[in-house]
Every structure is written in structure tokens, then in C-alpha cells.
Structure 1
Amino acid sequence: MAAFALDAAIVVLCTVLAAWGRSEWRVFTTPTDADIRFGLAAMPIVALWLTSLAVSGAYAPDVFGAGSGEYKSVLRATTYAAGFVGIGCYLARYPLPRGFFFLLFTVGTTALLVTRYAARQVLHRLREHGHLQQRVVIAGAASQVDEIAKVLQRERWLGYTVLGAVLPPSEAQSSTPGGLPVLGATPRTAEIVNTFAPHAVLFAGGAVSSAREMRRAAWELEESGVQVLLAPSLTDVASDRVRPRPAAGLPLIELEGPASHYVSHVLKRAFDLVAGGLLLVLFAPVFAVVALAVRLDDGGPVFFAQERVGKGGRAFRMLKFRSMVCDAEAAVDHVAEHNRHGSDHVLFKAERDPRVTRIGRTLRRLSLDELPQLVNVLRGDMSLVGPRPPLQSEVDKYETDVHRRLVVRPGMTGLWQVSGRSNLSWEDSVRLDLYYVDNWSLTQDLLILARTAIAVVSARGAY
């Protein structure tokens, strides 16, 4: 209801602004255009647009808070509304001004998407502070329950509070290995629901032994009104990759591969070349100022080239503005004791590294030291967006799964940077990088680039 009221206010406001803008700016007008009254067309357009939003699923409860379905519904509804208005005016020979039509759907679409994004951020903040939570019981094998509970507890913005676990009779215990209380056995799921009154029951792997048992469990829960959710044995998979494929009553789920085919890689590389080239030209004055500042700070070289491991395990020389003293590499063993992850950890980060120069601290805080990597992007060593480029010493310590980070080009920025940068643990860094490798798309790259600007300004986790 709140989303509908918000959309209605936005659509009405944009209709008024479009009428005013067309009259004041004379957008798409000619001397022969009829100066008609907009009131006759305004109300039907508003009603049609809001109806289209409702029919397109923009107010379905499951689209709020996560995934791209909410935004897709808004775009789909707007396209339908614009099409119906255009065709209707043509068939009725109603002279709707082109400027009004253009401004209405251009400004209106943008306003609806921005408003939905802002509302989603507010919803996430409320959920993170314990509001608007849905109580959930997870049924399944203990290992499966703990894995799903860990995700729900980590991503509190999803709004799920895990009450406890329901395990198969063969796993009778008071709590799961992850510390989740066991509420009972799976044959008593309906009774447990009546006792604890959760909003949803999430069935994970091992909850039932056959499709018949799953069907009976769903029948038993029908009268309680609780949501029944099924969790396949998948985590860290983008919703855009999951497609339902029902076949003869069998609810198959198709898992599409990441955007790894040839055309997508060509488009990503073309975007890197065009955007990287434009950014290099745009930041040319900054290059000059930073280079002069580094030189004047201690008289040493301006650039620092370090060997990193790129796509397919190939080594390349990554360029940076020098932010450390000239003999920084020789003192790495001495500084290792300051490693925030531990002296023997894969990832080396010292929060107060004494090797960083005075100007270097400023460069790192604003990420200006990474600008020369635009040259690496143009060379093809790196991409604008991708996993963090590792050192060979880090790769040597990789476990088997972590080597998947090397399937794509490393990036100047990525999920690791917009999610905390150096404040991230090694496990979180790996998880985010693997998520990107498995789910990357050009749309996601654009969103990461936009979030990078915010992360750089806030300087969170930069040292």
C-alpha cells in the first residue's frame, strides 16, 4: 500500500511537471502544434500507468527488498503505459503534445526507479536494525540448515530472523553444529509451526526423503497460512541466473551460466576500452598534479610497478602512483607483524603501515594511487570491474576453489572495494570475488562503478 501511494504521488507530480515543462520549454513543439489543455488526458494517463504497474507485479510482496524484479516490473509497466497512450492517442486522433509525452515518461520513469531504490535502502536499514523482520524456521539436514542460516544471519537486510531448526529424526540433537536451536523433528513440522508461529518454513536439503513427503508436508501447512519456501543447494547465485522450468509437474530450476560467452566478453572489453580511454583523458590534469606531488614529497620515482597475477594465471606489471618509501619491498617482512589478518595470512594489509609516505596516505584514502591502472585496462591486463588483482605469493596459498578468481580479468574496482575494501576479512573478500566471477554482467559492472564513487568519497576501509 505504501509503495502504491508513493508511486501515485510520483506519477501525479511528474504529470504536472511534464505539462509545465512542455509549456515553458516548448519541447518538441512547432508553430502549428495545438496548445491543448492537458487536464483531459492527465487523469486517464495516471490511472493507466498505475494500473499497468499493478498488473506488471510491481507491488507483489516478493519483489521488495532484493533482486532486480522490482525494477524490471517498473520498466515493463512504463513501457506498456507509454505504448497504450501512444497507440490510443493515435487511434482516437487525440493531439497529445509530443513534448508532454516525452517529458512525462522520461522524467517519470527515472523518478519511479530512483524512488524505488531509495525506498529499498530505507527498508534495508530498518531490517538491519531489527525492524520488519519475518520469523523463519529452517527444516533440513543440520549441515544444510547451518549453511542457509549463516547466509540469512549475515545478510540481515533480507529481513529474516531464524527461530530454529527442524531436523530429520535421524539427526536428533538439541542444537545444530552452528549453534541453532533444534525445535523438533521434521514429521512434527506442522505442530512446530502452530507452537512458534513463524512467517515462513524454509525446506532445505535433507528435510524430506521423497517428493511425496514434501507434498504431504505442504498439505499439512496449508491451513496455518505460513509461507513454504524451498531452498536448493545453492548459495551466492544472482537471481537473474535462476529460471523456473516446470516439466510435467516437476519444478525444475535452470541455473544459467555467468555471462561468459564470446559476445558478452567482447562487449565488456569494448566498454573497458571506451570508458577507460575517456577516464584517462578526463583525469589527465589529476595525473599531472599527483605526479608532481609524489616527486616533490621525497624526490623518488612517481610510479610503482608491481607484478600481479591476471586472467588465466598470467603475470603482468600493475601500475600505481608510488605511495610508499622507495625501499618498501625490502621492509615487508618487518611490517608483516602489523598484518591485520595475521602474519601468516594470505592477504597482507597493515592498517598503519610505516612505509606509506605522507602524500601516499592521502592518495590511498582517495584511491588516487590506483589511477595509472587505467593504462593496464587499455593494455588488456585488467578490467574496470573485476576481482582484486592478487600477488603471486597470495595465489600460491590459494585453496582449490579460490583459483576461480583467475577466470576473469582483475579489476580496478569490484565488489570487494564497494563492500568495505581493506576492512573485509579474507573469507568475505573471496566470497565477493567468486560471486562476481559467477554472476557478472554489464549491468552489474555499471552499478559497481556507481557504488565505487561513493566508496571513494567515504574512504571507508582505505589505508
Structure 2
Amino acid sequence: MSAEVGPRVGVPSQSDAPPVEASERRRHDAPTRRPWTDRRPFDAARVEGGDPVAAAARRRTAWTVPLLRRAVLGDAVVAAVVVACGLVSLRQVGRDLGPTAVVVGALVSAAAWVGVLAAMRAYEWRRVGDGPDEFSSILRAAVAVVAGLGVVSFGLELLLPRRMVLVAVPVVALLTAWHRYRLRGWLRARRRRGGAPALRTLVVGDGPSALDISDGLRRAPEHGMHVVGVAVPDPAGWESADGWPPCLGAVAEVPQTVVDHAVDVVIVVGSHLAGPSLRRLSWALEPTGADLVVAPGLVEVAGPAVHLRPAAGLSLLHVERPSSRSGRLLGKAVLDRTLGSLLLLAASPVLLGSALLVRITTRGPAFFAQQRVGVDGALFTMLKLRTMVVDADRQVDQLVGLSDRDGLMFKMRDDPRITPVGRWLRRFSLDELPQLWNVVRGDMSLVGPRPPLPREYVDYHDSVHLRMRVRPGLTGLWQVSGRADLSWEESMRLDLRYVDNWSLAMDALILWKTARAVVKSSGAY
């Protein structure tokens, strides 16, 4: 194939356009192919109305408008109800506020709250249902409202009731976050059932990379990306295990493929496209209405651990080391000791009652002490309520072949060593309560990877050792993602994801999900 790309029949040649790199070329004939550098790098004859951008906007509006309507309505109702309750409480302490003033105040507050949220980009369709960005917008909106009320009060010399500023605003923010959390759960549940539209996605890159990310997106439909196919350098050599995802064309045909298959998002993976090629693709996709997303080769690292920093005209990803988060480590230690002490105090009656029940129904001590591996491989003694017969450790070798878990972790759904009382304690995770003492002592954290046994730890391969770079926890990311129902590989992957991306906000979310999982007894045995 020559270095120059000939014009398509009936299309004027772009003599001043730079040649397309050889790596971007098709590997098979397609008479409708145009270079990415064309002013119109695709044939839009098959698009309704001939405008791909308008068609993409119509597809997106069909599902984003109802979603945004739900978000706006819920936010407005939250603000109106909270402010109305606050104004009614002011009437009870002698303020001269009639019913009309309460209604008007509630409506104005609802409109103002929605307006501030909109200014903080809380109604961008990409953020609604996203999670961290969405909650960040709500927090910034609450801070802006408090600051704005302070400025207005000072500038106009108004005496605003403190409860309306210092109580109502935080309550509105918390209830709004709860509403968005529920909305997010509703949206994800619909996507998992196939009842909610998803963004039609084309994955572009070398074969293995394209297949990996396609499989990942298929396993997580709640994220709202439906892979319609892939574009690879050599379509003739494309192979997949079950014929999915289909290959829709070569890399050089991406703009035309986007138009032909009504693609909303193009994800570029691997190293096949980079630098000038990637830039030209972004230009070529602009008239199609599709978004361009670049997936870095950095696996399972995201959120606060990754920062985008420009330098010398380049966009550089700075990956923060877990050990460099000294400020957050101190905050985590303070939270562990404080909250752990409070939880231990609150759980003392249940803990003592459970221990007494174990002691009077079975032979042996109520508590079970076991050597576990802590942070950086240090050994410590972990406490649990005894849920098995006294000589349970000596029976492991006889039962190891019956384990329900793959990998190094031994677990049985119908373990014959568990006592009747122990099975009940495990169902509600009451046997883990003594570990709050380990948290108070500093051996463990409230949230972190579960501490392994020494015999498991010595068989870890190098990457799994990294999960012990942080203090082991009473609960962790994989415990709230399936608990004992997950495979060994999936559990370790989630632990490593936590080590790379942990934050106090993530810890708070995991603690909340743990409480919910314990109440439902999901995955516990």
C-alpha cells in the first residue's frame, strides 16, 4: 500500500491534508473509507437527517432527561421539606411567620438549592449516578450556600436564624446525597436488568487489550456502557472465544464505524494509538457526536491516587504512593481508635451475652485467639468469639479438599466443625466483635484487607504481598462486594484496589455497606 491515501470515488481529494500513518491504515478494502484528516471523515448518508451529532444528542436525551428530572425533583423536594420544617419550628418559638411565608420560603429555597447544584455541575448527565463526583458537587453546593448566606447576612445586616444556616443546610445536603445514592442504586439496578439504556461503546486497540476491557464492561453493566464491538488493526485476524464482541472494522475506519453503528463512546486501549494519531482521532470524532475516552494501562488505580498534571505540553498521570498519604493515615488512625472505642463500648452487652451463650452451650473457652499477619508482615494475635469445636485447627488438613473457595483461603459453606450457636453468630458476624479490641490496640483498622494466616501468607505471590502494605481491617472492599461468595482471585483484586485507592470517604462507604450486608446476612457462612 502506498504512503498516500487515495480519495474515495465522488469525493474531492484533500491535497493539503497530511498523510495518515501506516499504523492507522485499514488492512482490507473498503471503498467508503476516508482519511481521518478529511473535513468529513465519514459518509453520513445512512444517518437520519444526515447529522450524526444531532442523532447522538437525541439518543442521549431519551434517557438522560428522565434521569435528570428525577434528580431535580428529588433535590427540590428535599430542600422544600427541610426549610418548611425549619420555618414551622421558628413559628413555635415566637417568630411571626404565617402559612404563606412558610410556603414561599420553602419554594424559594428549593429553587435556590437546585440553582446552586446546577452551578456546581451536579446536573451534568455524566455525573448523575456517578458517585464521588456527584457527592463532591453536593458538598461544594452546601459550602457555597453557607458562604453566600454569610455574605448576605453581613452585607445587608440581616440576623439569620442560626438553626436555618448551621442545621438546615447540612441536613439538606445529607438528604440530597441520600436521594442521589438511592437514585444511583435505582439506575444501576435497571442497567443490570437491561431495563435502562446504556451508552453504545466501541473499543479501539490491539486485540488482547480490546478483549480485556470489553469483558470487564460486560461484567459490570451497571456502569452504563454497552460494548457494540471493537475496532482492531487487523480485523481479519480477530478472534474471540464466543464470537463476542464482534469486530466492526479496522482502526482507520473508526469514524465511519461510529456513524454506521450509532456509537456514543469510543474507548481507546493499548499502545496502538498514541500521540499524533490519537489527536487526529479526536478531531475526526468531533463531527460524529461520540465521546473519546482513553484507558491508561494503569490497572485498578483511580480516584484520589491519580492526578493529571500537564508538563511540556503533555498530560501526565501522577500516581500517589500509598505510603505518601501521611495526613490521611493520621486521620485514619484517629478514626479507628475513636470509632473503634465507641463501637466496642456500644457492643459490649451483645459481646458479653454472645460470649456467655458460647460458654454455656459448648465445651471450651468463649474466645478464640489466633496468630494473624498484620501490616508489613508483622504477626499479631487476633480475637474472635469461638464458633467451632475446640480442636477445629487440627481438622483442617482433613477438610481442605472440601473447601468452597479456590486459591489459598479455606472456607466451607457446611463446615462440620461449626457449632449451632457458632453458625448463628457467623450469620450476623457477631463472632467478629472482639476484633474491635484489636482495632483499639492498633493491630487492625476498621477497614482494610482481612489479615491472613501465616500459612497463607508464605504462599502469596509478589503482587498479593502488596495487600499487606496497609493495616488489616475488620471489614474490607471484598467483604461488601460479595463476602464469602467471591473467588480468591476476585477477592485479592479488590484488596489490591483498596490498597491503591483508599481514602477516608471510601472507608466510610465501606463501613456503611458492611452494616447493610450484616443486616441482610449476605454471603456470610
TM-score scaled by structure 2? Answer: 0.81
| Preserved CA contact (<8 Å) 2:375 2:469 | yes
| Preserved CA contact (<8 Å) 1:366 1:456 | yes
Partner of 2:76: 8
3-state DSSP of counterpart to 2:186: helix
Against the structure 1 CA distance between its residues 177 and 168, is the aligned structure 2 distance closer, same or farther, given a 3 Å change threshold?
A: farther
The reply to whether residue 194 of structure 1 matches residue 259 of structure 2 is: yes
- Counterpart amino acid of residue 338 in structure 1: L
TM-score scaled by structure 1? Answer: 0.91
- Counterpart amino acid of residue 366 in structure 1: F
Distance 1:85 1:270 in 2: 33
Against the structure 1 CA distance between its residues 408 and 18, is the aligned structure 2 distance closer, same or farther, given a 3 Å change threshold?
A: same
Aligned alpha-carbon RMSD (Å): 2.2
The reply to whether residue 148 of structure 1 matches residue 213 of structure 2 is: yes
3-state DSSP of counterpart to 1:254: strand
**Which stretches in structure 1 are left out of the alignment for 5+ residues?**
none
Distance 2:166 2:325 in 1: 36
Distance 1:386 1:214 in 2: 39
Deviation of 1:118 (Å):
0.9
Against the structure 1 CA distance between its residues 81 and 375, is the aligned structure 2 distance closer, same or farther, given a 3 Å change threshold?
A: closer
User: Percent of counterpart pairs with the same letter?
Assistant: 40
Distance 1:377 1:41 in 2: 47
Q: Deviations over 1:119-140 (max 9, x none)?
A: 1111111111112211101001
3-state DSSP of counterpart to 1:300: coil
Alignment of 1:209-358 (within 5 A): 210-247=274-311, 249-258=313-322, 260-342=324-406, 345-358=407-420
Distance 1:288 1:43 in 2: 52
**Which stretches in structure 2 are left out of the alignment for 5+ residues?**
1-67
| Preserved CA contact (<8 Å) 1:22 1:100 | no
| Preserved CA contact (<8 Å) 1:144 1:206 | no
Greater alpha carbon shift after TM alignment, 14-23 vs 314-323: 14-23
Distance 2:511 2:125 in 1: 29
3-state DSSP of counterpart to 2:322: coil
| Preserved CA contact (<8 Å) 1:325 1:356 | yes
Distance 2:159 2:338 in 1: 42
The reply to whether residue 158 of structure 1 matches residue 223 of structure 2 is: yes
3-state DSSP of counterpart to 1:62: coil
Deviation of 1:18 (Å):
1.9
- Counterpart amino acid of residue 325 in structure 1: V
| Preserved CA contact (<8 Å) 2:81 2:106 | no
* Aligned residue among 425, 438, 459 for 1:376: 438
Distance 2:190 2:426 in 1: 32
Choose between structure 1 and 2 for higher RCO, CA contacts under 8 A separated by at least 6 residues. Answer: 2
| Preserved CA contact (<8 Å) 2:387 2:425 | yes
* Aligned residue among 246, 265, 273 for 1:181: 246
Deviation of 1:44 (Å):
4.9
| Preserved CA contact (<8 Å) 2:206 2:269 | yes
Against the structure 1 CA distance between its residues 427 and 458, is the aligned structure 2 distance closer, same or farther, given a 3 Å change threshold?
A: same
Distance 2:104 2:446 in 1: 49
Q: Deviations over 1:98-117 (max 9, x none)?
A: 33334431321122111111
3-state DSSP of counterpart to 1:415: coil
Partner of 1:442: 504
- Counterpart amino acid of residue 317 in structure 2: I
* Aligned residue among 66, 69, 90 for 1:22: 90
Greater C-alpha radius of gyration: 2
Against the structure 1 CA distance between its residues 177 and 240, is the aligned structure 2 distance closer, same or farther, given a 3 Å change threshold?
A: farther
Q: Deviations over 1:43-87 (max 9, x none)?
A: 554443322211111011221222411111111122212322332
